């Protein structure tokens, strides 16, 4: 008989403790990180400072931010004790992100193209403008992210991966599939989602990383308390991770592959395990986390087991969603003979093996029924 955890496992005491910060922000018991960052004053000139000077200030403000965050978490301070900053830590992040667009290295492709000039675009094919395919209250996410109001999910067009089995290929592989949004428009979308009951703001796609500048600018204009959720393939550069860690309240990353060969063949992405494991570790150490692993048929030994083993050793607080809903899509569906290993769904036995292995590592997980 298949070992299935009931939905209630995601609501029990241990799970609530692992997602304590997220639940506190979701229930308006604590301020979201971005609201704290808005109260941290930046003391350098945005116009005249070099990139190096801005990063030095960013490092200084990050230390201040984390001291304040720790005080707020431990009830030694409330947000109202901090005065709004005329120029804030968030403003600094926006400025740095916009400068990064001139030689883009938001992700580890580090294409270094000038995205303001649309003559040549990088791997993601996204220029300096962000496009949102759709946004809505998503009730199909993990139970802690859904509840009574759904997850306020915002789907961005474009992606840094070229997965041959992508289920959202029409969004991920077409960077023009959506309505153009700037920071102010995105802030209105986020406010609408929260005020109509969404439990969080869920940045996804495609992939949110190419839209980091717009997301940070949207957060700058937002005044509504709501947890920020990063739903990503986690191929960001270290610089992008530095911009994100102090504004993201809960991470919802994918960990697809246990080795680089599968990543290159199936997603056309190099240095996968090095980059993604590094970013998972940074995210885990900075905030709450639910890791998704999609079980690929025939890939238990090369991907599922190495990924779960790495999680157990490096991200012990993380919850894990072991997902069984893989199906041949996109290029695999069109040319199954080229990808015979994944031209089928995972079997009952493969899923049982994945669940049993997770249990042996004491991972708190929820398989999808």
Angle between helices 272-286 and 305-314 (to 10 degrees): 40
Q: Which domains does the chain have, with CATH numbers?
A: 7-32+133-360 (3.20.20.70)
Q: SS3 of 108, please?
A: coil
With pLDDT > 70 as the criterion, what percentage of the chain qualifies? 96
The pLDDT, as a whole number, for residue 11 is 55
pLDDT band at 7 (very low <50, low <70, confident <90, very high): very low
* Contact present, 85 and 39 (Cβ < 8 Å): yes
Among candidates 64, 59, 61, 54, which has minimal Cα distance to 96? Answer: 54
pLDDT in tens, 83-134: 999 999 999 999 999 999 999 999 999 999 999 997 889 999 999 999 999 9
pLDDT at 75 over 60: yes
Cα 59 vs. chain centroid, distance in angstroms?
22
pLDDT band at 3 (very low <50, low <70, confident <90, very high): very low
The pLDDT, as a whole number, for residue 169 is 93
The pLDDT, as a whole number, for residue 106 is 98
Q: For 89-165, where are the E strands, in sequence order?
A: 130-138, 151-156
> What is the mean pLDDT of the segment spanning 333-361?
96
- Beta partners for residue 319, in sequence order: 290
pLDDT in tens, 9-45: 555 778 889 999 999 999 999 999 999 999 999 999 9
pLDDT in tens, 145-180: 998 899 999 999 999 999 999 999 999 999 999 999
If you average pLDDT over every residue of the chain, what do you get? 94
pLDDT in tens, 266-315: 999 999 999 999 999 999 999 999 999 999 999 999 999 999 999 999 99
Q: Report the alpha-carbon distance of residue 339 to residue 41 in Å, rounded.
A: 53
Among candidates 140, 130, 285, 260, which has minimal Cα distance to 202? Answer: 140
pLDDT in tens, 193-224: 999 999 999 999 999 999 999 999 999 999 99
């Amino acid at each position: 008989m298949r070992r299935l955890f009931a939905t209630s496992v995601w609501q029990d005491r241990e799970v609530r403790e692992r997602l304590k910060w997220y639940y506190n922000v979701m229930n308006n018991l604590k301020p979201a990180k971005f609201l704290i960052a808005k109260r941290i004053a930046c003391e350098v000139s945005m116009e005249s400072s070099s990139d190096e000077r801005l990063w030095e200030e960013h490092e200084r403000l990050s230390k201040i931010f984390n001291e304040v965050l720790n005080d707020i978490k431990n009830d030694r301070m409330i947000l109202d004790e901090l005065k709004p900053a005329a120029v804030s830590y968030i403003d600094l992040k926006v400025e740095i992100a916009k400068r990064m667009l001139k030689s883009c290295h938001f992700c580890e492709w580090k294409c270094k193209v000038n995205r303001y000039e649309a003559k040549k675009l990088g791997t993601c094919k996204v220029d300096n403008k962000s496009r949102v395919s759709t946004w809505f209250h998503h009730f199909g996410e993990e139970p802690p992210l859904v509840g009574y109001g759904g997850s306020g999910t915002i789907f961005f067009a474009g992606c840094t991966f070229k997965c041959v089995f992508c289920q959202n290929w029409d969004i991920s592989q077409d960077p023009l599939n959506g309505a153009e949004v700037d920071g102010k428009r995105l802030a209105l979308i986020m406010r609408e989602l929260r005020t109509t009951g969404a439990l969080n703001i869920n940045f996804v796609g495609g992939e949110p990383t190419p839209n980091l500048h717009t997301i940070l600018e949207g957060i700058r204009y937002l005044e509504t308390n709501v947890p920020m959720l990063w739903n990503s393939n986690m191929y960001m550069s270290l610089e992008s991770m530095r911009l994100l860690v102090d504004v993201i309240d809960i991470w919802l990353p994918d960990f697809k592959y246990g080795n680089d060969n599968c990543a290159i063949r199936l997603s056309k992405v190099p240095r996968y395990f090095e980059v993604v494991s590094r970013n998972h570790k940074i995210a885990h150490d900075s905030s709450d986390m639910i890791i998704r692993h999609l079980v690929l048929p025939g890939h238990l030994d090369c991907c599922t087991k190495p990924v779960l083993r790495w999680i157990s050793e490096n991200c012990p607080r993380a919850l894990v969603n072991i997902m069984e809903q893989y199906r041949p899509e996109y290029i695999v569906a069109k040319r199954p003979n080229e990808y015979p290993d994944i031209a089928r769904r995972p079997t009952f036995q493969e899923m049982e093996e994945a669940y049993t292995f997770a249990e042996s590592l004491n991972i708190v997980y929820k398989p999808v029924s």
